[in-house]
Amino acid sequence: MKLYSSETSSAVRPEILRIKRMYGFWFGASLGLTFSIFAWGIDAYLLDRMHGLLPWLKFLGGVIPCILLGGFTGWLSARLDRPLFALLLWGAAASIFAWLTVGLPLQITPRLLSIVEPDIRDLLHYTYYEAFSTRVGVAYAWIAIFVSLAGFLQIPLSDSAVFSTSFLGKVSPMLTTLVLMAICGTIVDGLNNELLRSPIDAVNLTTQFMLDHRGDEIDPLVSRRMHLSALRTVEGLVTPDRKFIVSGYDQYLEQVQVLALFDKAWVECELVVNQLIRCEQVGNPR
């Protein structure tokens, strides 16, 4: 079967060009969505299980711009209809994805939280260190590999999908994108989110252990292993109903502060390399 070139399609079958551009939009939107799910969606799910405070806010802050950016980049790539141009466009889009992987948890989400939870504004002391530019660079190096590969494949995969008569033939490019972005998003999650999620997990585990064994005689070795001494000063404030969020960190994300909201108090805990050091009351919820 003879394939149509861009010029022939424009003159004889303009409807095909419209379909290809629309397919390009959905190709890019699915790329942005899949990246967001694995870069921030899995993180939100895990934080939700750890009693995270508004854990889905970060995901929502990332998925919307990624879908829009991906959709526009996919549409424009299809409009230009050149694999090299698509490669360059997706390389540029990857730089924005990379900035979001660092800027979203450390700049955008705190501002969104301050709007949704005004009481928390004065308890968050986030700093954007110059060293974070290195994190953006590392994230870009990984994201550019997978996103640019998906972008380079967009034109040939879309051409075959548009002319395919089978359902599998039409969705296979989306499946290819899903696999690439799943790997990419998982890598990005490990670069940044995991470093902010692990301290919350550590505080939550210690809190749950204290609640489960409140009033029991605990072996000193177990107590040291669970870092219960860090919670002793605020033991009377610890309640089953609780929410956690990172409230501060150093430039290496090794020394982290976790803010805990209990029924009658805000408590801030300090951790070094996920080891709970101390906790103290820093306020009362209104």
Q: What is the pLDDT of residue 154?
A: 87
CB 89 within 8 A of CB 77: yes
Averaged pLDDT, groups of 10, the chain, 286 residues long: 45 71 91 96 96 94 96 94 89 95 91 87 88 92 93 82 71 83 94 94 96 90 92 92 95 94 94 95 85
- Per-residue tokens: 192: 């940044």
Rounded-to-integer distance, Cα 151 and Cα 203, Å = 41
Q: What is the pTM of this model?
A: 0.88
Rounded-to-integer distance, Cα 55 and Cα 147, Å = 26
Name the β-bridge partners of 52: 244
Which among 31, 30, 4 has a CA at the least distance from the CA of 17?
4
Q: Check residue 7 and report its DSSP letter.
A: H
Q: In degrees, to the nearest 5, what angle opens at C-alpha 96 toward C-alphas 90 and 102?
A: 140
Q: What is the pLDDT of residue 19?
A: 82
CB 45 within 8 A of CB 12: no
Q: Where are the beta strands (DSSP E) in the chain?
A: 243-249, 255-261, 266-272, 275-283
Domain residues of the chain, as ranges?
6-194, 205-283
Cβ-based neighbours of 245, under 8 Å, separated by 6 or more: 52, 53, 54, 113, 120, 124, 200, 258, 259
DSSP H helical ranges for 5-82: 6-12, 14-36, 42-49, 56-80
Q: What is the pLDDT of residue 1?
A: 43
Q: What is the pLDDT of residue 13?
A: 65
CB 234 within 8 A of CB 227: no
CB 24 within 8 A of CB 74: yes
Q: What is the pLDDT of residue 282?
A: 92
SS3 content of the chain, % helix, strand, coil (to 5): 70, 10, 20
Per the document, the length of the chain is 286
